[in-house]
Amino acid sequence: MQKVIIEGPTSLKGEINISGSKNASLPIMISTVLAKGSCLIGNVPNLRDTRFLVSILQDLGCKVDFQKNVFAVHSSSISKKSADYEYVRQMRASIVLLGPVIARYKKFKIALPGGCSIGTRGIDLHLEALKKMGVKLSIRNGYVHAERRNEKLSAIKHSFSKISVGATQNILMASTLAKGKSVLKNCAIEPEVIDLIKFLTECGAKIKVKDRTLTIQGVDELNLHNHEVIPDRVEAGSYILATMASKGKITLNNINIDDLAFPLEVYQSMGLKIKQLNPSSYEFSCSNLKSLKKIKTKEFPGYPTDLQAQLIASLLKVGQKSKITENIFENRFIHIPELRRFGAQLDIDGNTVVVNKTNDLFGAEVMATDIRASFSLIIAAIISKGTTTINRIYHLDRGYEDFDLKLKKCGVNIKRKK
């Protein structure tokens, strides 16, 4: 199992090209099973998860390949009606296959998903809506068995009991081929959902967005269309926080600043300076990092849960207390014990972390626990004295393309070892 070794402390200085969004790429790649024809999806990050999804689609019979950040679909037809455990267990997003496949094909079964261990993130929101659309569902032997009762799925009027990106994407895709007009309320409106909507619309879907309501008029068929995936806002935010923590200066290219509007507002209140170089390139610097009295994670456009761990790590050496409350997932503080190994003074009160000033942080041997929490360990290592070894970096490889090469380019003494 691979690990990275980082010598600190250091300050990030350099230039990074932000990759395409992982969280936009996966549902777009999955959605190709809805449509006929062929297409090229560009700006897809070369990650463990994207490669796994290619393997899943190939195992189902789709003729697809993935080279140089381009996902090519030659035929999206499925010959196998089962997504097996050996693939699905490694990637939670695979459950989003259920809606689009059952919309186009009568039967499908999929293993219950794996992925990160940050909360239950149950699939009940997905299944509840699919049942209303006329899908017969059962869970047996670790698989979800689905069968369409009628020739087409039925359009529905449905309000999600909780805002969920995955459930929104799943039912949105299923609705594009349903009979009639579906109205979905209390939907997620993250940039990654909007990018999926853009791709589906390019393929011929009829979708309208108003606030958190999606209106989808079902069509008879979709035809694949070329598409370019949006930049990864979480990757960009992670490198910005690493820069702030290390009092550095970096230029980020291929960044959509609007997708980070609220986080950047927060970071500017902490001392971040932003300079626009061109429409998609910005310089970020911070020489005097300030504390953050309190902040709560929230669905977009609020503060993203995917940048919570990195924010905590960036505040470890700040003078006054900071409070970060996690409102999205119930088990997203599993990085706290690992950060304490650096000497971090952190207290947990329910779903709130109190970050107390730590005068000195020292390198330690730590273990990555999920994708985003893993980057918080990178930040802590960069601002700590001495050597840090981060084990189980496959989590980082699931979410950050070439992270070690990008950090090395910005002056971080980082080595990857087996």
| Same domain as 358, residue 248 | yes
| Same domain as 390, residue 312 | yes
Total number of domains constituting the chain: 2
Which pLDDT belongs to residue 117? 43
- What is the phi/psi pair of residue 21, to 5°? -70, 125
Q: Which of 205, 228, 251 is the last residue of a domain?
A: 228
Specify whether 62 is catalytic: no
| Same domain as 388, residue 239 | yes
| Same domain as 119, residue 202 | yes
Which pLDDT belongs to residue 115? 46
| Same domain as 321, residue 282 | yes
| Same domain as 221, residue 236 | no
**Sign of dihedral through CA atoms 160, 165, 168, 174?**
negative
CA distances from 195 to 23, 32, 65, 66, 336 (A): 10, 14, 21, 20, 33
Identify whether the C-beta of residue 237 lies closer than 8 Å to the C-beta of residue 256.
no
| Same domain as 360, residue 330 | yes
Which pLDDT belongs to residue 319? 85
For residue 143, give the CATH number of its domain.
3.65.10.10
Is 329 part of a structural domain of the chain? yes
Is 32 part of a structural domain of the chain? no
With b meaning 16 or more CB within 10 Å and e meaning fewer, what string describes 69-99? bebbbeebebeebbbebebbbbbbbbbbbbb
Q: Return d(Cα 380, Cα 307) in angstroms, integer.
A: 14
| Same domain as 264, residue 195 | no
Burial class (CB in 10 A: 0-12, 13-18, 19+), 119: middle
Q: Which of 228, 263, 287 is the last residue of a domain?
A: 228
| Same domain as 384, residue 309 | yes
Catalytic residue among 39, 62, 116, 203: 116
Is 381 part of a structural domain of the chain? yes
Residue 12 belongs to domain spanning: 3-18+231-417
| Same domain as 239, residue 218 | no
Which pLDDT belongs to residue 114? 56
Is 37 part of a structural domain of the chain? no
- For strands 294-296 and 322-325, give the pairing: parallel
Place of tokens 């598409």: 227
| Same domain as 139, residue 286 | no
Render each residue's pLDDT in the chain as its tens digit; 418 residues. 899 999 999 999 999 999 999 999 999 999 999 999 999 999 999 999 999 999 999 999 999 999 999 999 999 999 999 998 888 887 778 899 999 999 999 999 999 875 444 343 468 999 999 999 999 999 999 899 999 999 999 999 999 999 999 999 999 999 999 999 999 999 999 999 999 999 999 999 999 999 999 999 999 999 999 999 999 999 999 999 999 999 999 999 999 999 999 999 999 999 999 999 999 999 999 999 999 999 999 999 999 999 999 999 999 999 899 999 999 987 779 999 999 999 999 999 999 999 999 989 999 999 998 888 899 999 999 999 999 999 999 999 999 999 999 999 999 999 999 8
Q: Which of 213, 228, 243 is the last residue of a domain?
A: 228
- For strands 135-140 and 143-148, give the pairing: antiparallel
Is 29 part of a structural domain of the chain? no
Is 30 part of a structural domain of the chain? no
Q: Return d(Cα 376, Cα 342) in angstroms, integer.
A: 12
Cross-strand bridge partners of residue 179: 154
Which pLDDT belongs to residue 205? 99
Is 376 part of a structural domain of the chain? yes
**C-alpha Rg value of the chain to the nearest Å:** 22
Which pLDDT belongs to residue 119? 40
Token reading at 166: 């995955």
| Same domain as 235, residue 221 | no
Is 45 part of a structural domain of the chain? no
Q: What is the separation, in whole angstroms, between the first and last Cα of the chain?
A: 6
